[in-house]
C-alpha cells in the first residue's frame, strides 16, 4: 500500500537556506529550477518598489513572502505585500480612489473583470497570452479565464493565474477498496458501474452532505458544475455562467438530474436520499472511516482532508482519484476548480517585471515546497511538491484538457450564493429539476 511521504522540502533545506539572507532554499541545491532564478538577475530593478495587495494572511502571507524574497534577491527590487480579509471591498476603494497597488491578487476573476471594464486594470500583451497558452496545462482555459472586456468593450488578457484549487476529486479509503476488490474507475461509465456493484455487494457507494449553515446547498452546485463539464461542451458551461443560456436550458437541467442520479437514490447515499440536505458537509466524509464503512466514496474538493479523522495518513488511510469523464462523450478530461489571478492595477516597470517573475518556475516551486499550493504551470519540477498527495493533484491539473472556474462564484451573488444553493436543497428534497431551474432563472431575470 503506497504511503505518501509528508516530509517537506522546506524542512530539508531550511538550514541551507538560512545562510542565504532571507531565502528559504539555497540557490543551486535541491530539485528547484534554479536556471529560472538565475535568469531573473538580468532585470536590474534596484531602487524599484512594487506594492502587492491580496487576500493572503497568516501562514499564506508568510509563504508568499518567502517566494517574493527570490525576486527581490535576484533583481534588487523591494516588494511590499499587504493582505486583508476585506480585500474585495478595499481594492474597489483603492482603485477608484487612485491609490491602487501595483499588483492585485484576486481570489476569483469576477471582480477583476468588473474593474477591467472600468479601465482600472492594465492589460497584458498578446505575447503573455501566448506564453500562458503554451506553458499551462489546459492553457487556453487559463487565458480565457483572465480575458475580460476593457472600457471600450474589447477583450484583452488582464492577468495570470497563480495558485490553483482543485474540486474534481473523489475520496476513498484504500483498505475498503482492497478488501472488496474494487478498482479505481477511469471513466464515468466505470464509476457508475462501480456504484451499482457496491449496492449489489450490500454496501452504500456515496456519502453526500449539503449542510453548511447559511450556505447550505453549495456542495451540490459543485456536483452540477462538474457534471455539466462531463455532459456538454465547455462553451455551454461558459454560456450558462454568463446567463447567455437560461438556467432551465435542457443541458443544465440534464446536469442537475445527473446529480440526482447519485443523490436522490436511497440505495446510493448513506442515510438515504432524505439525509443529503440535512447532513453537514464537514460530517459527510466520516462515513468513509466507519467500521464497517457507511460509504465508499465522497466527491469533494482538495480541502476536505481537514475534516478527516485526526492523524489520517494520506495514501494509506485515505486517498483520492480524478472524478472521471464519460468515455462515450469524448469531452476529454475537464477539471473544475478555482484560483487566484494576479493583475496590474498600477502600471510600472516593476509591476511588469513582477508579472514576468510569475512565469518563472521558481516563483511556483518556492511555494510548492512549503505546501498548500497547486499550479498548472507545466514548466515546474513536480518533485518539489511538499508531498505526494499534492503532486498527484498537480498532475491532474497538468493533464486537464479543460479547466473551468467554480461557476457559482462567477454568478451574481443572489444566484451563485443564493438561489442556486437553495434550489439544490429543494431538488435534493424531491422537487422537479426543471421547476427548480426555472425558479433560479426567474430570480436571475429579476436582478437589475
What average pLDDT does the segment 234-251 reach?
A: 98
Q: Considering the chain, what is the average pLDDT of its residues?
A: 94
pTM: 0.93
**R_g of the chain, CA atoms, integer Å:** 23
pLDDT bracket for residue 22 (50, 70, 90): confident
Residue 3 has pLDDT above 90, yes or no: no
List of residues 6+ apart from 374 with CB closer than 8 A: 163, 164, 165, 166, 302, 390, 393, 394, 397
Q: What are the pLDDT digits (tens) for 195-216?
A: 999 999 999 999 999 999 999 9
SS in 3 state form for the chain? CCCCCCCCHHHHHHHHHHCCCCCCCCCCCCCCCHHHHHHHCCCCCCCCEEEEEECCCHHHHHHHHHHHHHHHHHHCCEEEEEECCCHHHHHHHHHHCCCCCCEEEECCHHHHHHHHHCCCCECCCHHHHHHHHHHECCHHHHHHHCEEECCCCCEEECEEEEEEEECCEEEECHHHHHHHCCCCCCCHHHHHHHHHHHHHCCCCCECCCCECHHHCCHHHHHHHHHHHHHHCCHHHHHHHHCCCCCCCCHHHHHHHHHHHHHHCCCCCECCCHHHCCCCECCCHHHHHHCCCCCCCEEECCCCHHHHCCCCCCECCCEEEEECCCCCCCCCCCEEEEEEEEEEECCCCHHHHHHHHHCCCHHHHHHHHCCCCCECCECCCCHHHCCCHHHHHHHHHHHCCCEEEECHHHHCCHHHHHHHHHHHHHHHHCCCCHHHHHHHHHHHHHCCC
Q: How confident is the model at residue 254 (pLDDT cuts 50, 70, 90)?
A: very high
Residue 5: band (very low, low, confident or very high) from pLDDT cuts 50, 70, 90: very low
Domains 9-164+341-405 and 169-334+406-445 share a fold: yes
- Measure Cα distances from 82 to 52, 106, 251, 439 in Å: 6, 13, 43, 42
Residue 133 vs residues 150, 311, 378: alpha-carbon distances, Å:
21, 40, 11
How much is the pLDDT for 1? Answer: 35
pLDDT mean over 260-282: 98
pLDDT at residue 411 tops 90: yes
pLDDT at residue 17, rounded to an integer: 34
Torsion of CA 137, 140, 142, 146, to 10 degrees: 160
Measured distance CA(323)–CA(231) in Å, rounded = 13
Q: The domain 9-164+341-405 is classified under which CATH number: 3.90.1300.10, 3.40.190.10, 3.40.605.10, 3.40.718.10? A: 3.40.190.10
Q: Residues 93-128: pLDDT tens digits?
A: 999 999 999 999 999 999 999 999 999 999 999 999
pLDDT at 446 over 50: yes
| Closest of 48, 154, 50 to residue 104, by C-alpha | 50
Give tens-digit pLDDT for 70-97. Answer: 999 999 999 999 999 999 999 999 999 9
Residue 251 pLDDT greater than 50, yes or no: yes
Mean pLDDT computed over 49-64? 98
Q: Rounded distance, CA 342 to CA 53, Å?
A: 10
Question: What is the arithmetic mean of pLDDT over 136-142?
Answer: 97
The C-alpha atoms of residue 3 and residue 330 are separated, in whole angstroms, by 33
How many angstroms separate the CA atoms of 167 and 323, rounded? Answer: 9
pLDDT at 41 over 60: yes
Assigned CATH for 169-334+406-445: 3.40.190.10
Domain boundaries, the chain: 9-164+341-405, 169-334+406-445
Amino acid at each position: 500500500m503506497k504511503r505518501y511521504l509528508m516530509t517537506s522540502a522546506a524542512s530539508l533545506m531550511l538550514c541551507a537556506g538560512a545562510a542565504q539572507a532571507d531565502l528559504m532554499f539555497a540557490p543551486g541545491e535541491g530539485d528547484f529550477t534554479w536556471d529560472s532564478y538565475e535568469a531573473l538577475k538580468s532585470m536590474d530593478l534596484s531602487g524599484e518598489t512594487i506594492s502587492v495587495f491580496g487576500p493572503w494572511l497568516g501562514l499564506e502571507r508568510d509563504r508568499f513572502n518567502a517566494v517574493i524574497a527570490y525576486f527581490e534577491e535576484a533583481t534588487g527590487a523591494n516588494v511590499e505585500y499587504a493582505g486583508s480579509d476585506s480585500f474585495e471591498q478595499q481594492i474597489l476603494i483603492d482603485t477608484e480612489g487612485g491609490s491602487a497597488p501595483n499588483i492585485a491578487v484576486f481570489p476569483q476573476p469576477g471582480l477583476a473583470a468588473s474593474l477591467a471594464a472600468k479601465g482600472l486594470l492594465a492589460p497584458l500583451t498578446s505575447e503573455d497570452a501566448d506564453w500562458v497558452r503554451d506553458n499551462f496545462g489546459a492553457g487556453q482555459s487559463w487565458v480565457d479565464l483572465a480575458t475580460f472586456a476593457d472600457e471600450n468593450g474589447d477583450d484583452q488578457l488582464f492577468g495570470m493565474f497563480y495558485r490553483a484549487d482543485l474540486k474534481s476529486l473523489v475520496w476513498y479509503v484504500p483498505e475498503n477498496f482492497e478488501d472488496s476488490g474494487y478498482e479505481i474507475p477511469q471513466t464515468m461509465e466505470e464509476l457508475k458501474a462501480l456504484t451499482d456493484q457496491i449496492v449489489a455487494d450490500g454496501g452504500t457507494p456515496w456519502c453526500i452532505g449539503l449542510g453548511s449553515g447559511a450556505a447550505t446547498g453549495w456542495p451540490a452546485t459543485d456536483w452540477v458544475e462538474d457534471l455539466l463539464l462531463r455532459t456538454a461542451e465547455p462553451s455551454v458551461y461558459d454560456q450558462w455562467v454568463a446567463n447567455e443560456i437560461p438556467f432551465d436550458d435542457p443541458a443544465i437541467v440534464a446536469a442537475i438530474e445527473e446529480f440526482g442520479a447519485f443523490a436522490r437514490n436511497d440505495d446510493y447515499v448513506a442515510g438515504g436520499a432524505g439525509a443529503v440536505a440535512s447532513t453537514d458537509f464537514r460530517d459527510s466524509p466520516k462515513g468513509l472511516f466507519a467500521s464497517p464503512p457507511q460509504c465508499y466514496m465522497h466527491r469533494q474538493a482538495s480541502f476536505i482532508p481537514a475534516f478527516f479523522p485526526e492523524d489520517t495518513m494520506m495514501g494509506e488511510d485515505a486517498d483520492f482519484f480524478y472524478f472521471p469523464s464519460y468515455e462515450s462523450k469524448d469531452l476529454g478530461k475537464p477539471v473544475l476548480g478555482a484560483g487566484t489571478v494576479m493583475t496590474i492595477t498600477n502600471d510600472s516597470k516593476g509591476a511588469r517585471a513582477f508579472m514576468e517573475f510569475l512565469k518563472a518556475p521558481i516563483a511556483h516551486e518556492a511555494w510548492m515546497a512549503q505546501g498548500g499550493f497547486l499550479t498548472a504551470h507545466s514548466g515546474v519540477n513536480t518533485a518539489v511538491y511538499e508531498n505526494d498527495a499534492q503532486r498527484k493533484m498537480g498532475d491532474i491539473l497538468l493533464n486537464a484538457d479543460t479547466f473551468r472556474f467554480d461557476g457559482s462564484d462567477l454568478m451574481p451573488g443572489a444566484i451563485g450564493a443564493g438561489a442556486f444553493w437553495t434550489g439544490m436543497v429543494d431538488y435534493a428534497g424531491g422537487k422537479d429539476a426543471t421547476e427548480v431551474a426555472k425558479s433560479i432563472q426567474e430570480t436571475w431575470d429579476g436582478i437589475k
